[in-house]
Amino acid sequence: MTSTLTKRVAAGLFAAVALMGAGAAQAEGGALHPRNVNFSFEGPFGTFDQGQLQRGYRVYEQVCSACHSMNLMAYRMLGQEGGPFYDEHHEAARNPYVAAIAAQIEVPDTDTETGEPITRPATPADHFRAPFPNATAAAFANGGAAPPDLSVITKARHGGAEYVYSILTGYRDAPDGLRINPGQHYNPYMNGDMSPFWEGDEHHVPPGGFIAMAPPLVAGAVTYDDGTEPTVDQMAQDVAAFLAWAGDMHQVERKRTGFAVLIYLLLFGIITWFSYKKIWRDVGH
Amino acid sequence: MSDHESTYVPKTGIEKWLDERLPIIRFGADYMALPTPRNLNYWWTFGAILTLCLVVQIATGIVLAMHYTPNTELAFDSVERIMRDVPGGWLIRYVHANGASMFFIAVYIHMFRGLYYGSYKQPREMIWILGCVIFFLLIATAFLGYVLPWGQMSYWGAEVITNLIGAIPVIGEPILIWLRGGPAIDNATLNRFFSLHYLLPFAIAGVVFLHLWALHQVGQSNPVGILMPKDSRSKDYLPFHPYFTVKDGFAIILFLMLFAVFVFYNPNALGHADNYIEANPLQTPAHIVPEWYMLPFYAILRAIPDKFGGVVAMFAAIGVLFILPWLDTSRVRSMRYRPTMKKLFVIFVVVCLGLGWCGAQLPDANVIPGIGGGFTLFDGDINTYLWLTRVLTAYYFLFFLVLMPWVGLKETPLAVPASISEPVLTGETEQKG
Ligand code: HEM
């Protein structure tokens, strides 16, 4: 009996590992593997550090939002449970910090009387202001490459937050022998194939690819209220954590629910196993 | 078995009244008392697991459909909105997306079980064929569903797969346009895919009903593979309830634990990151790959140098399953008693996993990196996934079309016990196989 059981479990595990392998196999490319960061939200029990989310939002707002939209985000979400400005005394839509943040931003609207296009201060219900009216304008302003929307960027790239962090901190001077087109920058963490641009040894093509984004962070680009030193590394970690939260904002709740579900299934499973033993006790099989 | 005597006795007046008009309680009671071969092992629990999978997909799917918008401009955002703003929406969507994968894990195990224990053989041909119909509909449903979130892989997967139809000579092109609702994949395509994705699971439920009806007509097979005695009071049977309800229940709990690990801790591990990029018809992804459960068939498709030939091979890989009952010439059902076939079966399972692996690789990539280009055979280097896939594809078809008929005639099976109680009661309690 137990032997079938172990076999079944083994088969399940084998299938799972094979699937993960197949997934990982799709990830390959000429880029360096993202650098490891010990983010607080990793692992089955990880949670977000609210201070870090606040700093990360500030980096997004003051630096990245000049080029990148986050169309799936509304200001009210910042005050939602688990969000950067969550305050248990206020409902998300009435959170005063969030209202103040939104009020500083002008969003486009239509005048309700004249029908003319106007701008007005945002409310928590508004979606994040987009820097460009459409993708064509975004591409035109950035030398032909539209900056991608960052709402789900950590789910849309292998490596998630660590990938974003690695891109932001990974810019290097191009090695000698690599031709770089104007408006492009070398980044070993970006996907791509450098061989057409490489004049050196064909067995040592540099890893990575070109990215049209100039290194967006310089030390001190933002000031942090909590006294944290705004180094490039710190800002990159903070904004990556913020993007990881924004891309999958219910993840802490999800893992917590999962723990309860697994405990429940475990107990239920044990009870069922003993009923099974009892029912089958006198039956040869 | 359908001819076992009904033991249901209506007790109250209402039950008697109903029993004469619509004997639905009797139907349920008889199901619970169904004489079941006592030696069924855990590989037989996947039927119950699959029923659960179907119910879960339909239940979560109906809720998703309340919030989903089948429009190319809105579909991607509407799925993300489900995840952000709909209460519990993240759970529903992750259960549905991972549920499709769990469904396929279960269906593949269920099918390998049938193959190993000869469940497709006389008198269960109809059960097997209906199962193959379900499998085919399941592939279609999952393909249609994967298009709905309108990510890059949704769009480009649909592009690649519908293009295959276009490879059919003469009639391909008109069918392609008819299917897409226009010359390109667009809003019309998304709308009809949504409509069909909603419809097909109910068609599957209908075929499942027929599948179970046929099952109850002839009775379940069993690991020993012998025909069961006609007398339903025989020692070889146990009533379905409580013996198998508790066994299936235990298996379902283990399965749900695996399911939960994916949904709650790795909800995107089985998906492709590119599907979180909204579909863009002007930008082809570097590497288009279908969902993992389609990979073996995708590999077979690419193994054939000719596009139409590839389409034929891919459909033949599923089609051959339908005629399996007539390809196997052995009179012994269970491979427990067929030592040669058992080895060939193990190879077959490895080959199927290998095909899945190959389906995720670039055909030109080296299987063994480092040794570089070796010897070129026809159109490709032999140290590439292209040739590995071809070898595996050859075995896949060889297994069904040559080994099944031939080994059945040649091999000498081991002695098969005359009844289930015999090996059971003589103490051979360990489940072999
Ligand atoms: C045989 C059962 C079913 C299977 C195998 C299946 C499979 C799938 C798959 C693979 C997806 C894409 C998931 C993703 O990556 O986002 C999907 C999406 C979807 N399905 Fe199903 N499905 C089934 C039944 C149903 C039913 C019965 C309904 C409706 C009543 C439904 C409604 C939807 C909707 C609205 C979506 C789009 C939302 C989303 O992508 O998450 N499904 N389905």
Q: What are the tens digits of pLDDT across the range B312-359?
A: 999 999 999 999 999 999 999 999 999 999 999 999 999 999 999 999
Are A272 and B246 a contacting pair at CB < 8 A? yes
| Mutation for A interface: B253, B352, B364, most A CBs within 10 A | B253
Of A3, A273, A285, the CB nearest to B424: A285
Q: Is A93 on the interface with B (CB under 8 A)?
A: no
Task: Specify the residue with its C-alpha closest to ligand 1, atom 32.
Answer: B61
* Cα–Cα nearest to B99, from B62, B136, B154: B62
How would DSSP label each residue in B122-146? TT-HHHHHHHHHHHHHHHHHHHHHH
Are B264 and A258 a contacting pair at CB < 8 A? yes
Full-model pTM: 0.92
Residues in CB range of A267: below 8 A, 6 or more apart:
none
**pLDDT band at residue A284, thresholds of 50, 70 and 90?**
low
Distance from first CA to last CA of chain B, Å, rounded?
Answer: 25
Query: Which pLDDT does position B4 carry in this prediction?
Result: 66
Neighbours of B26 (CB within 10 A): 17
Q: Is the CB of B61 under 6 A from ligand 1?
A: yes
* Cα–Cα nearest to A107, from A74, A140, A77: A74
Interface of B with A in 243-282 (CB under 8 A): 243, 246-247, 249-251, 253-258, 260-261, 263-265, 267-270, 272-274, 276-277
Neighbours of B126 (CB within 10 A): 17
Are B289 and A26 a contacting pair at CB < 8 A? yes
Give bridge partners of residue B284 from the DSSP assignment. none
Chain A residue with minimal CA distance to B255?
A: A12
**How far apart, in whole angstroms, are the C-alpha atoms of residue B384 and residue B380?**
7
DSSP A207: S
Q: Are A85 and A74 in contact (CB under 8 A)?
A: no
Query: Which pLDDT does position B428 carry in this prediction?
Result: 45
Q: Is the CB of B68 under 6 A from ligand 1?
A: yes
The answer to whether the Cα torsion of B53, B160, B392, B366 is positive or negative is: negative
Chain B residue with minimal CA distance to A73?
A: B84
Task: Specify the residue with its C-alpha closest to ligand 1, atom 11.
Answer: B145
Q: What tokens does B71 get?
A: 């429009």
Summary mean pLDDT of chain A: 89
Chain A residue with minimal CA distance to B86?
A: A250
Q: Is the CB of B148 under 6 A from ligand 1?
A: yes
Distance from first CA to last CA of chain A, Å, rounded?
Answer: 9
Cα B64 to ligand 1 centroid, rounded to whole Å = 8
Burial environment of residue B51 by CB neighbours within 10 A (0 to 12, 13 to 18, 19 or more): middle
Q: How far is B416 from chain A (nearest CA, A)?
A: 17
**How far apart, in whole angstroms, are the C-alpha atoms of residue B192 and residue B207?**
22
CATH architecture designation of domain B32-281: Up-down Bundle (1.20)
- Does residue A132 carry a pLDDT above 60? yes
Phi, psi of B80 (to 5 degrees): -65, -35
ipTM of the prediction: 0.91
Burial environment of residue A66 by CB neighbours within 10 A (0 to 12, 13 to 18, 19 or more): exposed
Span B346-393, pLDDT tens digits: 999 999 999 999 999 998 888 887 676 667 777 888 889 999 999 999
Q: Are B228 and B236 in contact (CB under 8 A)?
A: yes
CA-CA distances (angstroms) from residue B317 to A230, B297, B313, B410?
59, 7, 6, 25
CA-CA distances (angstroms) from residue A219 to A20, A194, A252?
38, 29, 31
Q: Is the CB of B141 under 6 A from ligand 1?
A: yes
Cα B92 to ligand 1 centroid, rounded to whole Å = 10
Query: Which pLDDT does position A110 carry in this prediction?
Result: 95
**pLDDT band at residue A23, thresholds of 50, 70 and 90?**
very low
Interface of A with B in 259-278 (CB under 8 A): 259, 261-262, 265-266, 268-269, 272-273, 275-276
| Mutation for B interface: A4, A164, A202, A203, most B CBs within 10 A | A4
**What is the pLDDT averaged over residues A105-134?**
95
Extract the residue ranges of chain B whose pLDDT is less than 70.
Answer: 1-4, 370, 372-374, 423-433
* Cα–Cα nearest to A215, from A65, A70, A64: A64
**Domain B291-328+339-412 sits in CATH 2.60.40:** no
- Does residue A17 carry a pLDDT above 80? no
**How far apart, in whole angstroms, are the C-alpha atoms of residue B293 and residue B312?**
19
Pocket test of ligand 1: the residue of B96, B204, B208, B276 to mutate, having most ligand atoms within 8 Å of its CB, is B96
Q: How far is A171 from chain B (nearest CA, A)?
A: 23
Domain ranges of chain B: 32-281, 291-328+339-412
- Does residue A250 carry a pLDDT above 60? yes
Query: Which pLDDT does position A30 carry in this prediction?
Result: 82
Pocket test of ligand 1: the residue of B64, B72, B80, B161 to mutate, having most ligand atoms within 8 Å of its CB, is B64
**pLDDT band at residue A181, thresholds of 50, 70 and 90?**
confident
**How far apart, in whole angstroms, are the C-alpha atoms of residue B189 and residue A81?**
39
Query: Which pLDDT does position A185 carry in this prediction?
Result: 94
- Does residue A27 carry a pLDDT above 60? no
* Cα–Cα nearest to B285, from A89, A26, A14, A151: A26
